[in-house]
Amino acid sequence: MARWCAQTHWPVHPLAPGRKTPAGNCEACKTRGHTQEGCPCLAAGRWCHGFHAATLDPERIDMWWAPQHRFGVGVACGPAGVVVIDIDAHTKDAPHRDRVLPGIPIHPSIDLTGLATGFHTLALLAAMRGAPDPAEDANTLRVQTPSGGLHLWYQAGPGRRWLCSSGSGTNRALAWQVDIRAHGGYIVAPGTRTDAGTYTPLGSCRTPAPLPDWLAHELTRTGHLETPLTRPPATRVVPQRGRQAVAAAGGGRDAATRTLATVLADVAACATTPEGAAFSEKLNRAAFTAGGLVASGRLTAEDAERTLLQTARTARPGQDGRCIPIIRSGMNAGARRPLHPGGRT
């Protein structure tokens, strides 16, 4: 199963024998405060840190899934380019109608008697949107879970990064008892056996279909689509004539670029030090500087954001989820203090 997933270009990682959770870390990685950032285990080919270790490497897969390990198979959703609608079938008392479909008011005249699972809430959402029930979509990969739930696999789509959520969460959520498995998470591969049972594909379809437009719209509405970096507000913009005068005097964009390059060099240098390099602090300082330069009209927000993220990726590859909020926060803070090379105003 792991080999089949990898051949389908779904990076895989081991799940603990008989369970749906990742195989345990080594003793060193169990230390309190230890994370995957810079961990030598990943580079050495060990399965520590769950989906962060996911791979397509056939040799590594053969080593991990040797008969004595009896591992199940997890798929890292983000790198696999899939978003999975995880429908729970745990019969429970429904929450208040305002929490059944977050963001969608349900009129008191609608009878919710009998609503008890994610199958019901997703069908209700589809009906309200005039769309077919996704649970009945035989044109995409559907996997029945041992608890009676259902995994609906869809293609994430080019240029889209969907985020995970819990259907009972208070942050973003699509529907009660409907979870989203996407970037930053994993899903149990079809065919995996656990102590509770087997994750069984339904029907004949074994490939994810494109995410339906209406579901993409709902996921966007509920905050599951990762937004691009927010452009910080320009509290002060230097007039064009003023910028030309500064440039003529040897300042302007070139001076701004040099100013930003100085703080970016500190960020880039973190690439040689996996831990203890104060990376977050240095990236925040660079973003603060960039925000000030944008606010003073010396750089465009697009150029600044792109340069910051490229440099962060060089120093800490695969950590956009960590870096983007730092960049956003730093630039927004810096925008409140416009920066002119030579001193702030």
What rounded mean pLDDT belongs to the chain?
Answer: 84
Which whole-number Å values give the CA distances from 126 to 62, 92, 119, 137, in the listed order? 42, 21, 11, 12
In tens, the pLDDT along 125-183 reads 999 999 999 999 999 999 999 999 999 999 998 888 999 998 766 678 999 999 999 99
Distance CA 125, CA 215 (A): 10
| pLDDT, tens only, 70-116 | 899 999 999 999 999 999 998 778 888 888 998 888 888 888 888 99
Confidence band for 254, pLDDT divided at 50, 70 and 90 = low
pLDDT at 230 > cutoff 60:
no
Q: Is the dihedral of CA 330, 333, 335, 338 positive or negative?
A: negative
Q: Could you tell me the pLDDT band of residue 275, with boundaries at 50, 70 and 90?
A: low
User: Is residue 244 predicted with pLDDT exceeding 70?
Assistant: no
Please determine, for residue 252, whether its predicted confidence score (pLDDT) is greater than 70.
no
Residue ranges with strand state E in the chain: 12-15, 72-76, 82-87, 142-144, 150-155, 178-181, 186-188, 193-194, 197-198, 200-201, 209-210, 339-340, 343-344
pLDDT of residue 274: 62
- Residue 34 is predicted with a pLDDT of 81
The per-residue pLDDT for 245 is: 42
What is the model's pLDDT at position 169?
Answer: 62
Mean pLDDT lowest among 51-65, 146-160, 210-224, 231-245: 231-245
Of the ranges 198-202, 240-244, 252-256, which one carries the lowest mean pLDDT score? 240-244
How far apart, in whole angstroms, are the C-alpha atoms of residue 115 and residue 109?
A: 15
Record the pTM.
0.65
- At residue 72, the pLDDT reads 95
Rounded Cα distance between 129 and 146, Å, is: 30
User: Mean pLDDT, to the nearest integer, of 315-340?
Assistant: 84
- Integer Cα distance of 80 and 224 in angstroms: 17
pLDDT for the residue 253: 46
What angle, 0 to 180 degrees and rounded to 10, lies between the N-to-C axes of helices 252-268 and 240-248?
80
Dist. CA 81–CA 160, nearest whole Å: 9
Nearest Cα to 194, choosing from 54, 323, 69, 71? Answer: 71
